[in-house]
Structure 1
Amino acid sequence: MSIVFAAPYSEPEDSVPEWGARPMKWIGVDGTVWPLTGAGSSSPRMLPGVKGLHMPRFEVYTSSTPLVPGEEILGYSTPARDVEWRLLFRASSAPDWEARHADFFDSLHPVETGRWLVGEGDAQRRLDLRGEFDGAHYFPRDPFVTGRAQIGLRLSAPRPFWVGKTISRSYQAEAEPDFIPSDPDDQNYYPTSVTGYSSARIRNPGNEPAYVRWTVAGPHPPGVTLGVGTFLVTVPFEIPEGSTFILNTDPTAPTTTLDGEDRTSQLGFQVFAPVPPGGASKLVIASGGTGDITVELDPLYWRAF
């Protein structure tokens, strides 16, 4: 009988990927910060079995008729997102366990939202969560004896989409040509005092349409025009030098202020358009002023990564 000795197969060293836990943090309603994974996490620590990172639930609306086979897709809506965590609380002493447990649950609230952060750097996304409590949790063993307890949490995201890194673009007024050209043979007259920002564009890399926030630094005379596509708004009042006008077109958090003072009523009824997902959209910016104009967009994603 012959015996063959062979070393077990192993992948080449350069083909082994570097794996590690996805960074996760919880920022509570009280402002406390809790690393849930990675080297910075201690107690509580996220256990396997996390719900809420992947696709949300879509409710698709359809119509049908006996005259046409199948159905017509009318659109969809996205209800609040259900989230579930399994957390391990552990400590080396009973007082320490009690303090960590109490402080963490004080960071949750059934109505107010904290923030779940997943990833880091430009890849980080966030989801605002509130706690859902039914009073059904029980401790199978006394944590003051074992120093450990696994606790499941149910949470809800009223706004179901993950929010990515804010995209910000600042634009300066383009040089305005002289009204009367210096060259008498030049017939290109410009009978206008409006300064243009023709290169203004913003990209939405998300999965859903997203609304923009405008920040206009004075000076600008009355008549600043801002918009996406054909949906425009004209600011009827002056923005003095040193002042800041902010217009948030998101219908979930509309804001119209000049130096912090609400000016919504002066704009009247407006209809704002979002930036469609998956590409760059041209912005409309026109003014007779010279202050910088900044536009920001928070891309909305279906998943945490």
Structure 2
Amino acid sequence: MDVLDHAEQYLLLHGRLIDRLRFEAMFRGGPRERVLDALRGYQNADGGFGNALEPDLRGAGSQPEPVEVAFWILDEIDAFDSPMVTAACDYLASITTSDGGVPWVLPSVMDTPRAPWWQTDDDPPGDLVPTAALAALLHEHGVDHPWLAPATEFCWSRIAALKEPGAYQAGAVVTFLDRVPDRERAEAELARVRDDLLAAVSFDLAASGHVHFPLDFAPAPLRLPLFPQDVLDTHLDALLAAQTEEGGWTANWAMWTPLLEHEWGGHITMERLKTLRAYGRLPA
């Protein structure tokens, strides 16, 4: 059984409907409209997304991070023309802090079931996570919305002040610099912060725990000169080898309630398949 057939079996047995439909759209010629139909079920009346689209956030209410999850799904099926995007941008504008960014998580999370690491204070500041990825994807798809310009300036200012970023912040910076239209400025900033970004990457394939490898920062080939091809090839070989006997890929962080093993498993399986396809590692 090849990689795709094996993954399909895993998703059929364990994946959420949205991840099964994503697989059908990407690899079996299924309609993207089915993915959009499923994604709408996670969007709220305020334009934000919730309802466990990000599996560790179990509450129904909107949060910034599930908007990023939704945007990546819309990116993979080239559906940024969906009305869901404008509604989501309106939501982002409603929760933006005075400096132009959106918080990592809103205080309303404290009243909902969630993973223990989703914590915040009563007045959280804007954060590169998820502001940078949201802005990057809007730029990538040419979306014009009033939220984008101040969010972009927020990202530039935070990158200018960047010191010893964690893995999630580093990944957000890479996503932003890889897609923002001002290529000269992006390349100059990369040259300045490259060593700080690479310090957040684990190159040791034997590393355990919640570490982040090169392909987590470069799930598709980058415009930025961040990783040499031999490093990417080594990690792509390891990624193929990590497919489980069930056909999926697993998370390297704690599952705090049993349901999440397969909710995350289906999502991660789709992300790993996307990476393998982007680098030409899936059968034709």
TM range (shorter): under 0.3
Q: Which has the higher helix share?
A: 2
- Higher share in strand: 1
Give TM-score scaled by structure 2 length: 0.21
Bigger-Rg structure (1/2): 1
